[in-house]
Copies of this chain bind each other. A is one copy, B any other.
Amino acid sequence: MKVAILLENLFDEREFIYPYYRLQEEGYETVALAPKRGTYRGKSGFEVKADAAIGEVVGDDFVGLVIPGGYAPDRLRRYPEVLEFVRKMDEAGKPIAAICHAGWVLISARIVKGRRMTGFFAIKDDLINAGAEYVDEPVVVDGNLITSRHPGDLKVWMKEYIKHLPKGS
């Protein structure tokens, strides 16, 4: 079973690397999806090659979606095809894990209104203005949406997220 992880420049290295390998350990195939094929650089310069462009895949092929933070979310939200992918995954009720600044993507995908969630404190106002109920907790679950604040929450974020995925192989 495949889990999509969104990729753009300036991703936070920890927030990409940890779920990428953690979900593999749990038996899932992790697929790095970017707006275009090619290699992307994290905030510190760590490079990751996209497995596919987001326009080349369909949500039906994935059982879940992970959105790392850093400044990658500011890039990702500029692409209608990214937002459509996120919205469709949410409509299908598939587990979405978002951390740190990833809330920006959720805001532009128009899926935060009325939802209980967290995120990096710098984007608290953006989340509230978009209609979210913002709480300052390490991990917050609202249906299929699992959100955390920063890299210090990685351990509880993934532990919770894995519970919501269909059982890996």
A13 touching B17, Cβ below 8 Å = yes
Query: Does A21 have its Cβ within 8 Å of any Cβ on chain B?
Result: yes
Query: Does A79 have its Cβ within 8 Å of any Cβ on chain B?
Result: no
Task: Name A's interface SS.
Answer: helix
Query: Does A78 have its Cβ within 8 Å of any Cβ on chain B?
Result: no
- The total of chain A residues at the interface (CB under 8 A) is 19
A155 touching B21, Cβ below 8 Å = yes
B21 touching A14, Cβ below 8 Å = yes
Query: Does A42 have its Cβ within 8 Å of any Cβ on chain B?
Result: yes
Of the candidate stretches A43-51, A52-60, A86-94, A106-114, the one touching chain B is A43-51
A13 CA to B46 CA, complexed, in Å: 8
Chain A interface residues toward B at CB < 8 A: 13-14, 17-18, 21-22, 24-25, 42, 44-47, 151, 154-156, 158-159
